[in-house]
Structure 1
Amino acid sequence: MLAGSAACGTVENLSAGQKLDKAFDKLGEARSLSFELDLDADAATLKALDAESSEPGEEMPDEMAELLSDARLTFSVHSKKPIEKSEEKDFTAMAMKFSGPDGDLLEYRMIGDHLYVRVDAEALGKMAGSPMPSADELPPEAGAFKQLLAGEWLKLSVKELEKTRDEMAGAEGPGGEEPAAEPSLDAKTQKKLTKALRQVIAEQVDFTTSGGSDGTEHVKATAPFRTLITELFDELRPLQNQLLPGGAGLPTAKDFKDAPNKKVTADFTLKNGELTEVSVDLAKLAEKAKVEKLALVLRIGTAEKATAPAGATEVRIDEIMSGLLGGMGPIGEEGFGGGEF
């Protein structure tokens, strides 16, 4: 995609675009991938940025700033086919984990027909400023929800979860009509989308490249933030009926008028032609706060296949819900069961 977009620009743009095209093609050919996303910023920087837009008394808690500065979101996927050719039935394992400075806060693994999940409820409650009750404080009738709060691995049926989701969504739409079909991107729409993105990238993005002797190369893409995001949505607007359900409209230039238009840079790291990291420098978007380092970093690699955790307890989704509603007691002014939560 990028090679086509860069063709309208300089020779360096063309070369950079071709290298990124090949790197993304390799990702699509892989059968297993892992991604790790984190913020490269300290807690003080995040607090300063939040203070710019927060009302007095609504500033980000210190615990939240500390968590976000050290948080990592990891995701891995395995398929029987190359990722770009895979459909839902082809994926054999997926895993996601959200980690903080003191360990894993939330994790799930989908292996075959089952989903495995566990949470560190105590740490999440402290981070949010709303302490959760401990598992020891709950009555036996809290059941599976009590096990969830205790940080145990729970095992759920994927088919049951899908059935519950469909029941909650409703089998019929308003007035007894069939629900509207999900929006889909057919081949024709995908081609239009690709062409639109190429056009904007060709006009707004500048590429530079630099390399080392160990096979590592950096491709940097720079563009003015507000202009880039505004034109991207302008190009996508003719396709909004295919992209969004229910006639929801895409943001307009008016929605982005207050966004900073300083140039931001995405740094793509290639190792022997393979994409290993993407870092987007956001420091220049700060208007008043003095920010030296603020970047969104995505690391890419090959993942080991996720396995089912030992000792997981098989439960039903209705057991968790009944434990939440029945075992926690009435919801009072101070939270569930009249406690602090």
Structure 2
Amino acid sequence: MRGRAASHEETIITVIRKTVTAVGCTAVLLTAAAACGTVQNLTAGQKVDQAVSRLGEQKSLAFQLDLDADAAAIDAVAGEDGSEEPLPPEFAKFVSGLQVDVSVKSRKELADSGEKDLVGTSVKIAGADGVLVEYRIVGDFMYYRSDMKAIGEAMGFPVPTADDFSSDQKEFRKILEGEWVKVDTKELERARKSAGGAPKGDDEEIDAKTQKKVLDAVRGVIGHEVRFRTKGGSGGVEHVIATGNVRDLLTGVFDKLRPLQKDLPAGAELPAAEELEEAPNKKAAVDFTLKDGDLRQIRFDLSVLVDGPVKAKLPLVLKFSEAGDVGAPSGATEFPVGKIPGDSPLGAFMGGGL
């Protein structure tokens, strides 16, 4: 299973997970600043804050993440980042067609939901020609499938086939054939404990007390560095634009977070001050689209993160809607916990396997 295809799939998964996290944190931090600005900023910021609160009042939520840019735009921006080697043409085309869909359903309002309240969760990564990777958590099982052949073709290299594995490795054959496999999450936790590892999430989550410290620490910085304004629309649509200098904002936020380093999860290393000096010294804007008071979309141009002039835009778009199907897929083959390689794509989705 390990090879160039698996390695690239894991890289794609990691990049997307970090991107989703970054966009989510940006939204949270900007809305946290709503009560810190002028009267004009307060009004605009409150609209976003109220819209985010309404998302938390729902029991079913989905968001879709993708780049609103073609391969030519990606190539143009990539050429301005100082890299000596250009992106492979097939990679730019591959990235331009990527789309991430996340859905979650709960018995309670999402803002009050714990892990035991969730009915189902789904993450799907698709390319121009269909689903590449998908996993769902329903009940006591995590379900997983991937289209290794499509990933290999998109990236321009061969991948293993089911024929490369013996009949007693049917679980791996199922993955390579694009079929569903499932893992018993309770068995996984027992295996972690037996191996002397911490249960998943123990070293990844920030407790409520630390979350408050983090938000309190950055509230003043964002309130000072970010300005909110409204931009009218039609048919109940309104835009709230949050604008700030990238370098000033990052420097101020991380300076406030450094005293809290010991309270952050292991591995959450903060960038050094000299690293932040390399951040683009220019303004960036986040566009929040509201429809009748509901948050429908967040839009951010990634090209502003490239230092210097750029020839194209790379809008990253996050859309919100009601969740679709998050039920357990039928016919999934159970994957024994002991056979899951910790450095495989399947292990990566579970936080590194055992």
Q: Secondary structure at the match of 2:159?
A: coil
Structure 2 residue runs of 5 or longer lacking an equivalent are 1-28, 345-354
Pick one of 122, 131, 135 that aligns with 1:95.
Answer: 122
Q: Which amino acid aligns with 1:96?
A: V
Change (3 A) 1:292 1:60: closer
Aligned equivalents of 2:251, 2:307: Cα separation in 1: 19
Aligned equivalents of 1:182, 1:294: Cα separation in 2: 34
Q: Secondary structure at the match of 2:79?
A: helix
1:1-341 map, 5 Å: 5-53=33-81, 56=84, 58-167=85-194, 170=197, 182=203, 185-245=206-266, 249-287=269-307, 290-319=310-339
Aligned equivalents of 1:4, 1:133: Cα separation in 2: 47
Aligned equivalents of 1:99, 1:253: Cα separation in 2: 37
Q: CA RMSD in A?
A: 2.7
Instruction: Give 1 or 2 for the bigger CA radius of gyration.
Output: 1
Alpha-carbon distance, 1:169 to partner: 6.0
Structure 1 residue runs of 5 or longer lacking an equivalent are 173-180, 325-341
Deviates more, 1:188-197 or 1:264-273: 188-197
Aligned equivalents of 1:311, 1:12: Cα separation in 2: 56
Change (3 A) 1:317 1:82: same
What TM-score, normalized to structure 1? 0.83
Q: Which amino acid aligns with 1:302?
A: E
Aligned equivalents of 2:35, 2:171: Cα separation in 1: 58
Deviates more, 1:119-128 or 1:24-33: 119-128
Aligned equivalents of 2:240, 2:127: Cα separation in 1: 30
8 Å contact kept, 2:241–2:286 = yes
Change (3 A) 1:136 1:277: same
Alpha-carbon distance, 1:171 to partner: 6.8
Change (3 A) 1:11 1:170: closer
Change (3 A) 1:54 1:164: farther
8 Å contact kept, 1:278–1:298 = yes
Q: Secondary structure at the match of 1:245?
A: coil
Q: Secondary structure at the match of 2:49?
A: helix
Q: Which amino acid aligns with 1:11?
A: V
| Number of residue pairs the alignment of both structures matches | 313
Alpha-carbon distance, 1:188 to partner: 3.8
Change (3 A) 1:152 1:41: same
Aligned equivalents of 2:339, 2:203: Cα separation in 1: 30
Aligned equivalents of 1:81, 1:25: Cα separation in 2: 14
Identity percentage of aligned residues: 46
